[in-house]
Amino acid sequence: MSKWTTADIPDQTGRRFVVTGANSGLGAETAKALANAGATVTMACRNLNKAQPVATEIGPNATVAQLDLADLASVRAFAENFDGADVLINNAGVMAVPMRRTADGFEMQMGTNHLGHFALTALLLPTITDRVVTLSSGMHQIGRIDLDDLNWEKRKYRRWRAYGDSKMANLMFGKELAERLAAAGSSATSMIAHPGYAATELQGRSETVEDVFMKFGNKIFAQSAAGGALPTLYAATSPDAANGMFYGPTELFGSRGAPGVSGYRKRADDTAFRGELWALSEQLTKTEFAI
Q: Which one of 163, 234, 247, 264 is the catalytic residue?
A: 163
Tell me what pLDDT residue 72 has.
98
Q: Strand 189-193 vs strand 40-45: parallel, antiparallel, or unpaired?
A: unpaired
CA distance 155 to 218: 31
Of the candidates 218, 201, 228, 163, the one whose C-alpha atom is nearest the C-alpha of residue 33 is 228
pTM of the model: 0.92
Comparing C-alpha atoms, which of 204, 170, 196, 9 is closest to residue 96? 204
Say whether 163 is catalytic: yes
CA distance 87 to 128: 6
How far is Cα 154 from Cα 13, in angstroms, rounded to an integer? 50
Give me the average pLDDT of each 10-residue run along the chain (291 residues): 87 98 97 98 97 98 98 98 97 96 98 98 98 98 98 97 98 98 98 86 50 44 85 98 97 83 97 98 97 87
pLDDT of residue 217: 42
Structure confidence at residue 254 (pLDDT): 73
Q: What is the pLDDT of residue 216?
A: 37
> What per-residue string of b and e applies to 175-194 under the rule 16 or more CB within 10 Å gives b?
bbbbebbeeeeeebbbbbbb
Instruction: Identify the bridge partners of residue 19 per DSSP, sorted by sequence position.
Output: 43, 89
Taking the alpha carbons at both ends of the chain, their separation in whole angstroms is: 32
Beta strands (DSSP E) in the chain are: 16-20, 40-45, 62-66, 85-90, 128-135, 189-193, 246-251, 256-261
pLDDT of residue 197: 87
Cα pseudo-dihedral 53, 57, 58, 62, rounded to 10: 30
**pLDDT at position 2:** 56
Domain ranges of the chain: 11-285
Q: What is the CATH number of domain 11-285?
A: 3.40.50.720
Do residues 284 and 150 lie in contact, with contact meaning Cβ atoms separated by under 8 Å? yes
Nearest to 73 by CA among 133, 123, 147: 123
Neighbouring residues of 117: CB distance < 8 A, sequence distance ≥ 6: 20, 69, 90, 92, 134, 170, 173
d(CA 2, CA 7): 13
**pLDDT for res 252:** 76
